[in-house]
Amino acid sequence: MSSHTDEDLHCRLQQLQSRFTWDLKKEDFELDDLSRQLQHDIDLQLGQPGAVAHSYSFLAYVRCLQDKPEEALSLLNQSEQKIKECYGEDSERRLIVTYGDLAWLKYHTGDHTQSQSYCQRVEDILLKHPADSSTVLHPEVYGEKAWTFLKFSKSYYPKAMECFCRALELQPDDCEFNSGYAIALYRTEPYVLKLCDEESPAIKQLRRALEISPDDGVLMSMLALKLLYYQKYREADGLVEKALEIGPDDTQILRYVAIYLRKKDQLDESIELLLKVLENNQSAFIHHQLALCYNRKKKNLYLERTQEKERELQHWRLLSIQHLEEAIGLKNTLTHAKTVLALQYAEENALERAQQLFDDVLEKLDEEFWSVQQVICRSYAEFCHYHTFQKDLAIAYYKKALEFSADTSEKRHCQKKLKQIAERRLGRNPRDAAAYGILGAVAKAAGDLRRAVEFYEKALEGGDEECLSALCELRLQLQ
């Protein structure tokens, strides 16, 4: 092929909607872990037929990144077949992305004739089914982009939600788009206790998705988890029971139900379900959840520590460490698991290993969702406060955890710790300026701005000039 013809083909390829043109960066996801997850989904044929077709396409792209073009081609052909089986006469628009991927794959393997053929197939479909305008994609393409962003990396979740919204603008009653948007909101919305009747966007969208897909056990279990934070326990329990009736062996349902049981402190039942899932799925997520259950069992023993209980406490800690190490071994990007493991190492007096893990997660702190950032800051503050005795650093990270506006259990815990630290300092020295500065930060986080001003003024009088900017900001707000 001449260089001019090759340039023309490459230009045509750039116009295609394909995972090769969606700016998916290899460094944004863990290829081995993603590969295992997708292969597991395919092996168990998880989800609706359309979801299985997605899994073949997703894994094909991963195989391309792993330099396995023959496997990628086989997977894309299987995806094409699944789409045709699932959607029949309505499958053409759903093949736009699949054929785009095939065109790019053939181009990269040097088969430019076949690449041109797949480009032509896409162009023929677009002629037969024109979009509403040159700036609007087909809803099926928005949906495919959304599922791709949702599956590949949490850093792409905002893009996934945007694409689902665009798809729903065009097809508001589509079950797949409504379910996908509900899942995206579920994953991005923080878990915060709500003492009000106004339900969150995630809950509203989960209810909407269940209106269209009333027998979707995964959506039911997700909704149940969200309802816990609105203290709607009866409805949540009913949804969990129904979800288990629908899919007693569905690993996706079981994993969400296990989280639900853990959050209700039904730890033995949660562990039983997670171990059942683990039999057929060596998942980083499941190991992480098991570790959290064992960690909770350990924490439940702290109030009744005897020599016998101490041995049991050690037993649960070691189990938690084992599963956290398994989880991180399978997926090195599990920041929350690393944070929990660091504190477990500290309890075992392995302070150097703990510090290494904290250094790792703190280096990438700004890349995390704010709720994870808050957990990391609180955990590192505990590490500094109780294990390395770096009191000033502990105070700094407790304060950093207060900067997030949502009223979470993490935030309340940090407020309590800071108040205790300040009161102890004032007990030793009633004129401790830094202690008043700490109380000012606590009052500000609690929304008591006038009280915060009073504390900051006392801190400033005592010579703590670090609080000056916070004091000026509060005075402006109160004017």
**Percent of the chain's residues with pLDDT above 70:** 96
Confidence tier at 439 by pLDDT (50, 70, 90):
very high
The whole-number pLDDT of residue 90 equals 85
Cα separation, 143 vs 172, whole angstroms:
12
Highest mean pLDDT among 81-90, 164-173, 360-369: 164-173
The distance from CA 156 to its chain's CA centroid, rounded to whole angstroms, is 10
Over range 160-185, report the average pLDDT: 96
- Lowest-confidence region among 25-34, 143-152, 209-218, 252-261: 25-34
What is the rounded average pLDDT for all residues in the chain? 90
The whole-number pLDDT of residue 340 equals 96
Q: Please compute, for residue 237, the number of CA atoms within 13 A of its CA located in the half-sphere on the CB side.
A: 6
The whole-number pLDDT of residue 96 equals 96
Q: Count the helices and strands in the chain (H runs, E runs).
A: 24, 0
pTM above 0.85, yes or no: yes
Cα separation, 451 vs 181, whole angstroms:
42
- Decide if pLDDT at 75 tops 90: yes
What top-level class would CATH report for the domain 189-266?
A: mainly alpha
Query: Hey, do 3-130 and 189-266 end up sharing a CATH topology, with the first three levels equal?
Result: yes
Instruction: List, as one string, the DSSP characters of 388-430.
Output: S--HHHHHHHHHHHHTS-S--HHHHHHHHHHHHHHHHHHHH-T
- Lowest-confidence region among 169-183, 403-417, 460-474: 460-474
Domain locations along the chain:
3-130, 189-266
The whole-number pLDDT of residue 457 equals 87
Residue in the block written with tokens 């290829």: 31
Tens-digit pLDDT profile for residues 195-241 = 556 889 999 999 999 999 999 999 999 999 999 988 999 999 999 99
Q: Pick left, alpha or beta for residue 402 (phi over 0 → left; psi -120 to 50 → alpha; otherwise beta).
A: alpha
CA 70 → CA 9, 60, 74, 78, 95, distances in Å?
Answer: 22, 9, 6, 13, 20
Q: Please compute, for residue 455, the number of CA atoms within 13 A of its CA located in the half-sphere on the CB side.
A: 25
Under CATH, domain 3-130 is a member of which superfamily? Answer: Tetratricopeptide repeat domain (1.25.40.10)
Cα separation, 361 vs 343, whole angstroms:
13
The whole-number pLDDT of residue 194 equals 57
